[in-house]
Amino acid sequence: MLEIKLLGKPHLEGTDVHQMRGRKSWALLGYLLLEGTAPTRSHVAEMLFPDADDPIRALRWNLTEIRRVLGSESIGSDEVVHLRLPQDCKVDVLDVVSAPWWVASAIENLDSPLLDGLDSLGSVGFDTWLLGKRRYLRRSAASSLREATLAQLGEGRPERAVATAARLVALDPYSEEDQALLIRCLSAAGDPEAASRQLAACTRLLREDLGVDPGPALMASAHLRPNPGRVLKKADVEVKLEAGKAAFSAGAFDAGLARLREAVDGARSMNDDDLTLRAWLALGSTLAHGGRAHHPEGATALLRSVGLATKLERWQDAADAKTELGWIEFMAARYGRAHRWLDEALDASNTDPGVRTRALWIRGKCWMETGYYSRSLEDLHEAAGSSKQLGDRARRAFCLSSLGRTQMLMGARQEAADTLTTAIRTGDVEGFTWTTSLPKAFLAEVYIYWGMYDEAEDLLEQSLAAARQVGDVSFETFACRAFGVLAASKKDLNGALAWLKRGYARWASEPDCEWANAFTLDALADVTSDWGLPEADRWITELETLASSTGMREFVCHSYIYRHRCGDPTALAIAKTLAPAIDNPELHHLTQLRRNAVAMQPSIATPVD
C-alpha cells in the first residue's frame, strides 16, 4: 500500500517507493489532491510558476515527476489535469477531512501543518491557497476529534473520550464548545473535581486572554443530567416517546426534549434494542434542529443510532441518522464530514425517498457554500423534483429556496426570481408560511439589483416578521443582511452598517448556520471597503479567516477583491489566481472589475460598465 503523507514534512511511505524531487512537485500534488477539481494546465502554471520563463514547461516537468512516483496513469495528457491515484493508496489529508472518526483521529501528525517547509515558493497565489488549506485542515482535524469524542461518549467509554477531548482542546484552547465537551467528558468519567478545575482554568483563560466571560453553555457543562429515579415500563417509554415527538412538532421544544430524554433512559434500562433505537433517533433528530448549542448531545445520540441500526440491520434508520449527522456538520460548516455522512446515506440502495431527498438538499447546499456550483445545481434540482413527487410541500419550498439562492449567486437573476417566487407561493398557498422567510430575503436581493427598492422592502418586512415568528436565528440574519444591502444601494451608509451589524450580532448571540455569518461578513466587508472605511480591514480579515478555515472558497476570493479596493497592490492578482477553480461566472466577472468599483453581486445593486 502506498501512503501519501502531506501533514508535516511531505513524504511517501510503502514498499519500494520513490520520493518526489523538488518542492514544487509536492506543492502541485497537494493542490491537485485538495482542491477537488480538475484545473486547466494554464491555471496551475499561473498559480505555481508565475515567474518561470516557460510556466507550461515547468508544469510539464513537475507532472512528469508525479507520474514517475505514482505511475504513468496518474496524470493524463489532456489540457485539464486529472489526478488518478493508484489502487490501495491512502492520503492523510483526505482522511482528515472525511474518513470515519476512528481512522481520522488516529492519523500521525494530525496537528502538523500541511506541506511543512513549502512556504514562500515565489507565488503569492499558492502561498495564499496554502495558508487557507492549513486553516481548513486544522479545522477538519478538530472535527474528526470532536466526532471521535462524541462517539466514545456514546459507546460508554468516557475515559477514552477524555483523552480525545484533551487533544481537541489542545488544537484550540479558546473554543468554548470544545472546552465544554472536555468538561462533559470529565464529568461522565466520574471526576467532577477535574471537571470543575477545567472549567475554572478555561474561565481564567478566556478572561485573561480575550477579556470575555464564558457563555452559559460552558458554565453548564459540568452538570450532567441525573439518572432516572425509577425504572419505566415499555408502555411508559412508548408514551413518553410519542409525547416528546408531538411536543416538538407543536413547537414546545423544551417539553419535548425532556420527554425524549426520559424515553431514552427508560429504553436503555430495559435493554430493548428496538425501542432504544427509536428513542435515540428521535432524541438525536430533535436536538439536531434545536440550535448549535444542542448539537453535541444530538450528535452523540445519532452516532448511537447509527451503531445500533447497523447492528439490527435497520438500514433506513441508519440512513436517517446519517442524514441528520450531515445536517449537524453542515450547519457548523464542517463540510468534509457532512459529505461523508450524506454520501453514505445516499449510497444505501434502500434509502427511503424522503430521506434521500433531504440528503440531496443538504448536500446541494454544501456544494454551493464551498463554491462547487454545478454540483449544487444538480443535487438541488433533483431534490426539488423529488420533493414535488413525494408531495412534501414544506421540503419543496426549502429546496426551491436553496436552488434560487444558488442561481442568484451565479448571476442568473431571472431564473433565481422565478424559482424563489415559486418557493414563496408554495409556502403561502399550502399553509407553510414559516418556510417563506428565506426565499423572500433572497428574492429581495434580486429586486435590489434590479432597482426595485419598494418591492424589496416589502418582501424584507415580511421575511423578518416570519423569521421572528419561528425564532430562527439564520432566517433573521439573512433578512438583516438584505436590509443592509438595500440601504447600501440607496447610498445610506449609516443604515447599511446598522442593519448589517444587527444581523452579525444576532447570529453571534446564538450561533447557527455558519454560512449565514459568512454571508453577512461578506456584505460588511463589501460596504466598508467600497466606502473606504478604516473598519474594512477588520471585516475583511474576519471573512477571510472564516472562509479559508471552512472551505468557503468563493468568499476567500471576495476577501482579496475587497483588499484590492482598499489599495493592496497584490490582492487582485491573488483573487485572479484563486477564482478559476470556482465554477461561478459571476465571480470571474468580478475579478475583472476596476479597483473601488461598487459591483459585488448580490451585495450591491449597481452593475459596473
For residue 137, the model assigns a pLDDT of 97
For residue 458, the model assigns a pLDDT of 98
Computed over its alpha carbons, how large is the radius of gyration of the chain? 25
Cell of 420: 424563489
Q: What is the pLDDT of residues 68-125, one digit of tens each?
A: 999 999 998 889 999 999 988 999 999 999 999 999 999 989 999 999 999 888 889 9
Among residues 151, 215, 161, 220, the alpha carbon closest in space to that of 188 is found at 161
Virtual torsion, Cα 134, 136, 137, 139, nearest 10 deg: 120
Tell me if 70 sits within 8 A of 86, measured CB to CB: yes
For residue 233, the model assigns a pLDDT of 83
Note the pTM of the prediction, 2 decimals: 0.91
Which residues are CB-neighbours of 233 under 8 A, at least 6 positions away? none
- Cis omega (within 30 of 0) on the bond before 602? yes
* Amino acid making up residue 493: L
CA dist., res. 490 & res. 80, Å (int): 44
Helices (H), 155-272: 158-171, 176-188, 192-205, 216-219, 234-249, 253-270
CA dist., res. 9 & res. 163, Å (int): 26
For residue 596, the model assigns a pLDDT of 38
CA dist., res. 463 & res. 436, Å (int): 7
DSSP string, 35-69: H-S--BHHHHHHHH-TTSSSHHHHHHHHHHHHHHH
Q: Please identify every stretch of the chain with a pLDDT value under 50, giving residue numbers as ranges.
A: 594-609
Q: What is the mean pLDDT of the chain?
A: 91
